[in-house]
Amino acid sequence: MSIKSIYSKLFVSPKFLAMPAVSLQILPDGISFLATRNSEEGILPEQYGFIHLPDGTVSHGDIIKREPVIKALNEIRKLTGVSFAKLSIPEDKTYMFKTQLPNLEANEIHNVIEFKIEENVPLSIKEAVFDYDIIPKSRKDNKEVDVVVSVTQLKTVQEYQTVLELAGLTPVLFSPESNNIAKSVIKDTNRQVVVIVNIQERNIVQSLVVNGVVCQTSTLNFGSSTFTDLIAKYYKVDLEEAKKIKKEKLYSENSDNMEIFSYFINTISAIKDEIYKYVSYCNEREDVESRVDRIILCGRAAMIVGFEKYLSMNLNMEIEVANIWVNNFDLNSYVPEISKAVSLDIAVVNGLNLL
């Protein structure tokens, strides 16, 4: 089964809905969006942006105040001229578990999983919406299949559906955040064991990906805003000015890089320690056929000068900054106007466009 939407079974789109759709990620501080177009070069970015939301509008994936979200979605609909939407379900709202099942037909697997929901997540089957992915095996085994199940609350999906519709947008697909990132940054043909580290504004999500399927995630409750706070202290400025300095000084070589990096070292070391623990845990799993081959960094903070090199030296592993366009087009034949740093912040919505 391909990585389709985690809730695609609930919202099956008829043929007339096979229309251009804007991809959305609703975050605590705003809504990220991306619309693409098909061309001879591939799937190309056409319109993208970020609409800020007032503090307290969204918290841990819950929409606390509908009106600002609806207003922002309305603005996105008008900017893109698109009436259909794909939405990323936040990591905070997704449960995931792995199980082994007999090699059954797809409808039979779906029915068997229903009985396993309450054993593995704190939801009843009536409260849950789920989908699953079968992990391809490198060796032939026709008796059993390894299945990863993703689950969310039905009321969460219904709430997102409601705000989209109130903004004049028709939802055609809902998909979990970690699956969207994996779809964006890992080549479709890649069958390695990979850990993705996505550094967002308020959190860091680590994902174990085996044969192209996300098997496990872990979330750290701090993110790139920590670097903003440190810059504000270092330069003795307010947060708005600190954000400007971060954009100007952190992602390209300049005379201040080494001194700023030294000031960041405790935070960067803490991130390194968390990655090490996660990779070590993944390598100890008996159900994973091989060890982690490499780590892919995502999120604009991955571009901090010296960060990738520091992790590579201290973790003694292959580390790379993500190319989010790896399944869209060949960078040798087409170069988007979106900068590398900006692209790293839209991996989630780009992955949605590839589903």
Evaluate whether 22 touches 32 at the Cβ level (below 8 Å).
no
With a cut of 80, say whether residue 152 has pLDDT above it.
yes
Q: Coil, strand, or helix at residue 92?
A: helix
Check the CA dihedral 334-339-344-348 and report its sign: negative
pLDDT of residue 191: 87
Which amino acid is located at 200 in the chain? Q
pLDDT of residue 139: 62
Percent residues over pLDDT 90 in the chain:
77
Write the DSSP string, 104-135: --HHHHHHHHHTTHHHHSSS-TTTEEEEEEEP
Check the CA dihedral 198-203-204-210 and report its sign: negative
**Mean pLDDT of all residues in 224-237:** 94
**Mean pLDDT of all residues in 109-114:** 88
Q: What is the mean pLDDT of the chain?
A: 90
Task: Give the DSSP H/E element, type plus range, for residue 27.
Answer: strand 21-27
pLDDT of residue 252: 83
Residue whose tokens read 């379900």? 89
Closest listed residue to residue 1, CA positions, set 99, 106, 102? 106
CA trace torsion 328, 333, 338, 342 (10° rounding): 60
With a cut of 70, say whether residue 16 has pLDDT above it.
no
Residue 310 backbone phi and psi in degrees, to 5? -60, -45
Closest listed residue to residue 175, CA positions, set 93, 66, 246, 88? 88
Answer yes or no: pTM beyond 0.85. yes
Residue 69 CA to residue 128 CA, distance in Å, equals: 24
Q: Out of 15-19, 275-279, 343-347, which region has the weakest mean confidence (pLDDT)?
A: 15-19
pLDDT of residue 12: 46
With a cut of 50, say whether residue 78 has pLDDT above it.
yes
Residue 9 CA to residue 341 CA, distance in Å, equals: 35
Biggest CA–CA distance in the chain, Å, is: 63
With a cut of 80, say whether residue 1 has pLDDT above it.
no
pLDDT of residue 14: 52
pLDDT of residue 258: 85
pLDDT of residue 142: 66
With a cut of 70, say whether residue 7 has pLDDT above it.
no
pLDDT of residue 144: 84
User: What domains does the chain contain, in order, with CATH numbers?
Assistant: 15-353 (3.30.420.40)
**Mean pLDDT of all residues in 175-197:** 94
Residue 229 CA to residue 238 CA, distance in Å, equals: 9
Q: Out of 66-75, 169-178, 199-208, 283-292, which region has the weakest mean confidence (pLDDT)?
A: 283-292
Residue 230 CA to residue 242 CA, distance in Å, equals: 9
> Residue 200, Cβ neighbours under 10 Å: how many?
25
**Mean pLDDT of all residues in 218-230:** 94
- pLDDT, tens only, 266-319: 999 999 999 999 999 999 988 887 899 999 999 999 999 999 999 999 999 999
